[in-house]
């Protein structure tokens, strides 16, 4: 029987949701200001800034996904830790010990904790090397030793988790489990090894680049274009279609990758999702060319 433990999420989700909201408002403000101004150069600058802010927004949204998906699954055979698109499987027999960090006299050096809402990834810690953090709350952190490696998690009740681990260890394993590790690099290699996935993702990136180049060229060489409402508007509005293409490409790429990794649907549906990205970007590119004629 597997028991699931979850990290405290409230503070982390509030902090990252506020960051995402601020970024969304900034992006919308820049896009609206850029589409309303009559000065073409200023419009291009504002719209480009709005597009660039999509990068930190994607990072924050993924961080929210990581926090929500973090789970520590404990059984007599193994401790499985999943977060985002990553996964670690530790056989119980290979774990030396598990202790809440409050059992130690020296606190972990975590930096400026008040502004830190989550701890994910490897971090150099004196005396521990580079332990892997999969945690949200310093007060509930648990230190796990496996050979010469360390892992730090933060179940909601660190003491209860530690006691439950000791109980399961005394009961002994039922089956022999081998250690497994999945990271983003390994997962990306799996996707890229599939011929259709590689072709369609590459085609999506090329079509999106073509859309951006077309939008930027039209914005620079033309003063006005015919908009979808059949009225003349500043040529800088062409970049709005590039923004739409970026959102659509990003959503489809993420959905396709998640479905690929979790094997929830067949290959034909994944191919269809990624094919839509290529088709939509090409249609938007053609629409921009028609508007500029």
Best mean pLDDT range from 45-54, 93-102, 239-248, 264-273:
93-102
290 CB-contact burial (10 Å; exposed 0-12 / middle 13-18 / buried 19+):
exposed
Residue % of the chain over a pLDDT of 70: 89
103 CB-contact burial (10 Å; exposed 0-12 / middle 13-18 / buried 19+):
exposed
**What's the N-to-C CA distance of the chain in angstroms?**
67
Tens of pLDDT, residues 127-139:
788 899 999 988 8
Q: What is the pLDDT of residue 208?
A: 87
Tens of pLDDT, residues 259-290:
676 664 455 566 666 676 777 778 778 777 77
Tens of pLDDT, residues 184-240:
777 778 788 888 888 888 888 898 889 888 888 887 888 777 776 677 777 777 877
Q: How many whole angstroms separate alpha carbon 149 and alpha carbon 118?
A: 21
Q: How many whole angstroms separate alpha carbon 109 and alpha carbon 242?
A: 44
Q: What is the pLDDT of residue 228?
A: 64
Tens of pLDDT, residues 2-26:
888 999 988 888 898 899 889 988 8
Q: How many whole angstroms separate alpha carbon 129 and alpha carbon 149?
A: 8
pLDDT over 80 (residue 59): yes
Q: How many whole angstroms separate alpha carbon 264 and alpha carbon 213?
A: 35
- Mean pLDDT within 20-41: 82
- According to DSSP H, which parts of the chain are helical? 10-36, 40-52, 54-69, 158-171, 184-193, 195-221, 238-262, 267-292
pLDDT over 90 (residue 58): no
pLDDT band at 114 (very low <50, low <70, confident <90, very high): very low
Tell me if 129 sits within 8 A of 145, measured CB to CB: no
Tell me if 110 sits within 8 A of 119, measured CB to CB: yes
Tell me if 161 sits within 8 A of 155, measured CB to CB: yes
Residue % of the chain over a pLDDT of 90: 14
Q: How many whole angstroms separate alpha carbon 249 and alpha carbon 279?
A: 10
pLDDT band at 81 (very low <50, low <70, confident <90, very high): very high
């Amino acid at each position: 029987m597997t028991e699931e433990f979850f990290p405290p999420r409230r503070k982390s989700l509030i902090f990252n949701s506020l960051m995402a909201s601020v970024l969304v408002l900034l992006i919308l403000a820049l896009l609206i200001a850029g589409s309303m101004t009559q000065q073409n150069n200023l419009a291009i600058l504002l719209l480009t800034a709005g597009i660039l802010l999509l990068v930190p927004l994607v990072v924050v949204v993924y961080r929210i996904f990581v926090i929500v998906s973090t789970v520590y699954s404990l059984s007599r055979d193994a401790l499985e830790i999943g977060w985002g698109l990553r996964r670690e499987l530790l056989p119980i027999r290979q774990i030396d010990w598990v202790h809440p960090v409050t059992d130690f006299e020296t606190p972990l050096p975590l930096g400026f904790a008040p502004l830190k809402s989550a701890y994910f990834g490897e971090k150099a810690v004196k005396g521990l090397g580079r332990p892997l953090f999969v945690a949200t709350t310093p007060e509930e952190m648990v230190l796990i030793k496996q050979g010469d490696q360390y892992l730090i998690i933060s179940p909601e009740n660190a003491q209860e988790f530690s006691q439950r681990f000791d109980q399961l260890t005394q009961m002994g394993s039922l089956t022999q489990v081998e250690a497994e590790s999945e990271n983003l690099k390994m997962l990306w290699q799996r996707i890229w090894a599939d011929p259709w996935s590689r072709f369609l993702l590459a085609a999506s990136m090329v079509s999106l680049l073509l859309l951006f180049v077309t939008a930027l060229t039209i914005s620079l060489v033309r003063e006005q274009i015919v908009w979808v409402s059949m009225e003349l508007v500043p040529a800088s509005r062409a970049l709005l279609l590039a923004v739409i293409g970026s959102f659509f490409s990003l959503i489809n790429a993420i959905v396709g990758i998640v479905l690929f990794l979790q094997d929830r649907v067949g290959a034909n549906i994944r191919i269809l999702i990624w094919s839509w990205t290529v088709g939509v970007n090409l249609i938007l590119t053609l629409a921009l060319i028609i508007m500029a004629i």
